[in-house]
Structures are given as C-alpha cells and as structure tokens.
Structure 1
C-alpha cells in the first residue's frame, strides 16, 4: 500500500503486525549470526578449504563491506518497489547465498558468496525496520522495537557458542559448512511467513536511486580495503599504496558528485549538508574508530585462542562468552542511565572498554601461553561491559544534531559507517596481527600489540565524543 492508503487498509495491515514482527526478527538474527560465526570458524575453514591468511580477513570484510555499500541504497529500493517485495527478494537471495557458502569448493567461491550475502542482507534488513513504523500504532512502537533487544542479545551470546558447536559436531559430515547451511530452513521459513504476514508498503513520492553515487563509493571503499588485506602477503608493493591514495581521490570525487546532484535538485545518496555539521562528522569518525577496533579485536582474539592456545572452535566460542555477557550487562546498565548521563555514558563506556582491553593484554603478557579461559574472562567481561555502555547511546547521540528532514540519510550513512568499520577492523587489525606472526612474533606478543592498537582506537573514539551533543533528542530513535 502507499502512504495515502485508507485507514481501513492500514487497520487490516495491523492485524498481522505481531507475526510480521517475528518474521523481521528472524531476518535480523540471520544477519547478526552471519556477521559473528565466521570469526569462530575461519581458522577451520582456511585449514580445510586452503587459501592464504587473507581468506580469514575477507570472510569478515567481504560481508561487512558489501553490507556497508548496499545499506545506503537498500532502504530506497523498498520505497520504490515495495518493502514486502524487496524483503522477500533479500531473504531469498540471502538464503541462496548461504547455500553457495555452504557448498563452496574454493576460497574465491566462498568470498564471492559472502559478498552476495552482504548485498542481499542490505536489501532485506532496511525493509523490516521501515515496515515496523508503518504496521504499529504509536502506542505500541516502543514495545515492537523493544523486542529487538532480547533477540539480539540471545543471538550475540549464543551465536559464537552455536558456531563453535556446529563446527566441532560435524553434523552429517558437513563440518564448518553447517554454519551457513543452518540458514536454509530459517531463510525458507522467513520467506514463506513474509509472503503470508507482511503487508505491502510503498512510498508514493519515492525518489530515484543514485546509482552513480553508489558506484563511486563502492570503488572508493574497495580501493581502500583490498590493499590493506592483500598488502601484507605481497610485501606491500607500490600498487597497494597507489590504491589507497586512489581511494582518497574516489571519496573526494563521490563528495563532489553528491554536492552537484544536490544543487541540481536531485536526491543524493548522502545529503552533503550533513558533513558540514561538526557533531555528525565527528560522530562518523568516532564510530569508524570504535567499530574498527571492536570487530578487529574480536576477530584477532579468535585467531589467538585457536592458533596460539589450540582451542577447538567450541572452546573458542565458550571463551568469548564473558565478553558477550558483559555486553548484555553493560547495555542493561546503560538503559537505566542514558537519559541522565547522555554523552558522558558513551565516554565512560570507552574508558571501561579500554581498561578491559588493558587487563586482557596484561593477563596475556604475564601468563604467556600457559593461560586458561578463566584468566581471560575478567578482561573480556570488562570489554563487553564497556561495549554495551558505549553502543547503547551512540546512535541517538550522533543523530541528535541532525535536522528531521536529514534523519533518513543520516541514519543510513551512520549504519553504513558501522559496517565499514567492521570491514576495516578485519583488514587493519587482522593485517597487523598476521604481519607480526609473519615476522616471527609469538601469538601472545602479536595479540598484545593488537590490544594496544584497540586501546588507541578507543581513546580516539573518546576524544571525538566531545564533539557530540550532550544528550539525544527525546524523539530520536534508531
């Protein structure tokens, strides 16, 4: 239906709002699990499928980079062609890409399938969030969005453990492939339920896609990520630095094109005026630093416990539990304090997270390889608590200085930067870690250097947070 649909038709859509919400939540779970599980399974995948260490980084970066680029356009596809239709296409594509991942016979096929997963995920995810705002009356909106918290929490806590168990269990002789194949029944069920329960919404005044802008930003991001991952394996030839320099040029060209498109009265991919707002620009850079460190540290930790401590994938998943549980605790504390503390809560979170990383680094230093999961737990738990404290207010605080008519573009840009940070984390911290191992550093020493790099990124995040508004607007929601 369009935004001018009759009240009776709108009421009919509301009738299925709760079953529809669970369909949307199932899609969110698939996306979250696929962002987490490869960190656990990556060493096993490389061992069995072959390929260089860059395969491990591309399993994370390929997915998140495709998601980052696709998310900016994904929401507008729903505006143009209908949210239900694009949700079903996204879910079908995501499920098919998961099957391709599960049957991949080469590193190249697996990486390409991961990129497809990210692209279709970027089509699927924005539609669900948009439909919730259309399906639920204002008095139920908070309850609907409140369902995301417990579901995302359970997924983030149970996901790594489930992934490790699936790899070790070797169900039906599938080994690591089952972490992707498990999406098939979930995805098929989500598609069938979507066809029955999701209402169709389409904006009557939807704008056209900015395909040139999407192409420019895609090239710019690829020119940055590709040499960061491949450079350390090739001993940093000249073309890697030329590629990174070219990335800067392409980002500048993208900004210039978007400004010209805006002045011509056309709808740009990203509203240029956002970057003239000091608070929003500072928030983007802070978010990039934060998510780069968070995802990068998580990936490297999995490599450390499996490669250095010789944990099985299931043991590695269990070892990561303190951080996941800490994140739940931190988020719960933040919900009680965010209205009062605002920006200060975000700053406290980065300091707590940095302290936890410091404890983790010192523990590894003094215990060397004679270390148990129990000894790692305190540092990881503090990292998780700080992460929860930081993430809870982050999006609302950054978006507080944005005008209402800019909120759609700002939200999409901020979410894309979150995903780009994930791609950079796997590329930058992963490359740092592998380069140290290549130069005969021990797993423990390489892990410690990675920890200090994460602490540096957290300090950058904390410093930039002073550019943000002190409090979020009451009506702001992410």
Structure 2
C-alpha cells in the first residue's frame, strides 16, 4: 500500500470542535521546543567549565555541541515520518521522556567522552519530539483558530533561538540549583516530567497508520546526507575550512540527489516513502523551506556576531551581554502581542516584518559609528526584534497552508531539519565573515559591522523570497 493511500485515510480526521485542551496542548508543544532550542547552544557557554571539570581534551569543547546538533539534524526527517506512522502523540511522549532522561544522565556524566555520547542520545530523542509539534497544533485547532496558534508558535521559537544563550548564561552565573554546569541539564528534568504528564493528559490520541512501513534505505540516505552537510558547517571554521569540508558538502548534495531518485522510484512502485513527494509540488511549502533556511541562518549568525561584538569589541561581561541582548527579545515579544490583530494580512505581514528587520539592522550599523552604550543599542535591537517577530508570526501558517494532515509529519520534519541546517549555515557564514575581517586587520567593531551588513542583506533577500508565498490570507481568528 502506498503512503498516500493509507495516510490519506488518517488525514480525513478533522479537529474536534469541542476539544477542550487545545491551548494547554499548544503550551506543551512550545515547552518541548524551548527545551530543545535551549540545549542547542547552552554547552557553547558552559564548554570551558565542563571541560575543566571533566578533564576533557581541547576538541571536546566543539563536540559537546556538535554531537547534539548532528544527531538532531540527522534524525529530524525520520522523526517526523515516524509521527505520521505510529502517531504524533506517541512519538512526542517518547521523545519527551527520552530527552528528559538523557538530560539527567548528561548532568550525572563522570567523563567528557560519556557526556559527548549522551549528548548524541539527547539529540536523537529531540529529533523524535520536535517534528510532532506543528502537526499536533494543526490536528487540534480548527481552521479559523489555526493562524492564531501558529502566530504564537513563530515568535516563541524566535525568542528561544535568540534568547537561549541568554537564559543559559543566566543559569550558569546564577546557578540556582547549586550544581555548577550540571544545572543546565538538570533544569530539563522537572520541566520534562511536568510537560510529559501534561502531554499525556492533553494531547489527542491519533491512531497509527495501518500497514505503513518505514523506508529504512531512505532513512539511512537522509541521515547520511544530513551528516555530510551539517558536520562541515559545524566544524569547518574550527579547522580553517579545509578542502575536505567542501568535499563533504559536495558529497551531501550527491547523496540527497540519490535520495530523491530513490524516493521517486519507490513512489512509482507503490511502496512507502520517507518524504511525501506531493509536498514539493506545493508552492507555499517550497517558499517556506526557502524562507526558513534564510531566516534561521540570519538569526543564528546575527546572534553569534552580536555576542562576539559585545564581549570582544566592547569588553562586556557575559551578564551584561545577556542583559543587552534582551532588548531584541523585547521586540520579539512586542511583535507577538500585536500578532493576533495582524494575522489576517498574511504575506503582507511577512513583508512588513522583513522591511522592519532591515531597518533595525541598518539602524544598528549607524549606532555602531557612535560612542556605543547599551542604551544606544536598545532602539535598533527592539526594532530588529519586532521585525523578526512579524516575519516569523505568519511563517508557519503560510508555509503549511496547503499541507494535508497525512503529510504533516514529513513536512514539519523537513522544516525542522532546515532550521538546524540554517542555524549551522548562519553561524558558519557570519562567523567566518567576522573572523576573516578581524584577521585582515579590521577592528572588532568593523568586523561586526561586516557581519551585520550580511545579516541585513539576508533579511532583504527574505523580503524578495516572500513573494514565493501565494497571496494567501489566513482566516481572521474569531
């Protein structure tokens, strides 16, 4: 039986108009996303302390984060497809339980090598949990309320993508649990237990797809292609971008081309596929993949360059850096508050957000020519954050507007994988721009200006890419 024949039967289920727990379900999904987004970057801040305590090698500093990122990226597409097959609630609970347990084990690690292995396990369970979120939201919200749910989810992800390092820095400095670096993992345990119980009680059960089998060759090819792409992006700058880094990325493209031919062949034979080919015939979804890759690349790269600018260029402490960065987070929150009244504008709202983001980044470049103080940075950061929020608000509603329920797991798995790829690309690109400019004799502020100018250019490209979205307006929320 082909994937679409069986899954379409599951896809006929519409959200229950009398379902009482849709807003608690949305909160549970957002908590799961917050746990994952925080753990993506938190070991970057804690790395030196962890290595000293566990007596690890110099390269372990990179691997504390790299193993998590690589495992997460390699498993996201498969995790999304498993949600289609065995049920999104079941996969979310498995991912949440495994993520929570592996967090506790990371906190108890007695050696650097063990922590690296456990970080990979944590990433795999994150890959099982994260792709289910958007599918669950689309399952439980009726069409007229769906834009409001997506509008809440988008800025939330932007806040934690940008604010994760800020929260991680506070946890390390405040040490509320008195456990040193282990606090960054221990904090996941009570949150995961409560969120897992809430998920069990509030998420709707969805039946497994009958007679659908996981495409194991496709799983291996997708994982291999993701690994070959993400590994050089994560590690390439550390090694000075050697030839093998470019060779691996070229090999990734070859593997993904072979994967596409494999999926098309299975589709012709009527066999189950890992990715629903029909997704890539939907203009809105193709636009979403393009825009999402650029958005998370710009956001991640800007966050890295801004942190380097404040600490290396202005001599700010981690605490002062975190406090200054909250201005952009405040802008994102402000955008999310006005989003319900603006959601009906759809693509126009996205374009407005992109234009405001460009204006905020250009204002930041202008402020950097003055005698910089945190208060002078605040207005530009708030504007950039506001624009970022207004872009991300309608993003999911626009990207998934044409996706059928039986395609949702695959669709969100691919979008999540692209988020990770975009974050790695952005950190690699803007980090390279920053360090290359500094290596050629430019001051840190000039190097940062070059990186911020690239981020502004990426936001301008997103404005143009927004025209790929259909002129679609989500129904206004009642």
TM-score normalised to structure 2 length: 0.81
Deviation at 1:385, TM superposition (A): 0.7
Q: Judging changes above 3 Å, is the alpha-carbon distance between structure 1 residues 411 and 316 closer, same or farther for their aligned structure 2 residues? A: same
2:329 matches 1:324:
yes
Measure, in 2, the Cα distance between the counterparts of 1:227 and 1:145: 33
Higher relative contact order (CA 8 A, sep 6+): 2
Task: Give the structure 1 partner of residue 212 of structure 2.
Answer: 207
Task: Give the structure 2 partner of residue 348 of structure 1.
Answer: 352
Deviation at 1:126, TM superposition (A): 4.2
Deviation at 1:339, TM superposition (A): 1.4
Deviation at 1:388, TM superposition (A): 0.8
Measure, in 2, the Cα distance between the counterparts of 1:48 and 1:425: 31
Measure, in 2, the Cα distance between the counterparts of 1:233 and 1:179: 24
Measure, in 1, the Cα distance between the counterparts of 2:154 and 2:282: 30
Alpha-carbon contact 2:263-2:274 (below 8 Å) kept: yes
Q: Judging changes above 3 Å, is the alpha-carbon distance between structure 1 residues 425 and 81 closer, same or farther for their aligned structure 2 residues? A: same
Deviation at 1:289, TM superposition (A): 1.3
Deviation by residue 1:235-291 (Cα, 9 ceiling, x = unmatched): 333222211211221121121111112212123222334334555434322221121
Q: Calculate the aligned-residue CA RMSD, in Å.
A: 4.0
Match of 1:73 among 65, 73, 78: 78
Measure, in 1, the Cα distance between the counterparts of 2:421 and 2:96: 22
Deviation at 1:231, TM superposition (A): 3.0
Task: Give the structure 2 partner of residue 362 of structure 1.
Answer: 366
Q: Judging changes above 3 Å, is the alpha-carbon distance between structure 1 residues 161 and 293 closer, same or farther for their aligned structure 2 residues? A: closer
Alpha-carbon contact 2:151-2:336 (below 8 Å) kept: no
Alpha-carbon contact 1:64-1:420 (below 8 Å) kept: no
Deviation by residue 1:80-126 (Cα, 9 ceiling, x = unmatched): 44555433321222123323443556766555444433321221234
Task: Give the structure 2 partner of residue 372 of structure 1.
Answer: 373
Measure, in 1, the Cα distance between the counterparts of 2:368 and 2:114: 36
Task: Give the structure 2 partner of residue 263 of structure 1.
Answer: 268
Deviation by residue 1:381-422 (Cα, 9 ceiling, x = unmatched): 111011011111122223345567655543442333223212
Q: Judging changes above 3 Å, is the alpha-carbon distance between structure 1 residues 100 and 434 closer, same or farther for their aligned structure 2 residues? A: farther
Q: Judging changes above 3 Å, is the alpha-carbon distance between structure 1 residues 382 and 154 closer, same or farther for their aligned structure 2 residues? A: closer
Write out aligned runs for 1:398-437 (5 A). Answer: 398-400=399-401, 406=407, 409-437=410-438
Q: Judging changes above 3 Å, is the alpha-carbon distance between structure 1 residues 108 and 391 closer, same or farther for their aligned structure 2 residues? A: farther
Measure, in 2, the Cα distance between the counterparts of 1:139 and 1:471: 14
Task: Give the structure 2 partner of residue 231 of structure 1.
Answer: 236
Write out aligned runs for 1:291-330 (5 A). Answer: 291-330=296-335
Task: Give the structure 2 partner of residue 471 of structure 1.
Answer: 472
List gaps (5 residues or longer) in structure 2: 1-6
Alpha-carbon contact 1:269-1:409 (below 8 Å) kept: yes
Deviation at 1:362, TM superposition (A): 2.9
Measure, in 1, the Cα distance between the counterparts of 2:134 and 2:104: 25
Q: Judging changes above 3 Å, is the alpha-carbon distance between structure 1 residues 44 and 437 closer, same or farther for their aligned structure 2 residues? A: farther
Deviation at 1:327, TM superposition (A): 0.8
Deviation at 1:313, TM superposition (A): 2.8
Measure, in 1, the Cα distance between the counterparts of 2:130 and 2:171: 25
Task: Give the structure 2 partner of residue 275 of structure 1.
Answer: 280
Task: Give the structure 2 partner of residue 390 of structure 1.
Answer: 391
Q: Judging changes above 3 Å, is the alpha-carbon distance between structure 1 residues 269 and 454 closer, same or farther for their aligned structure 2 residues? A: same
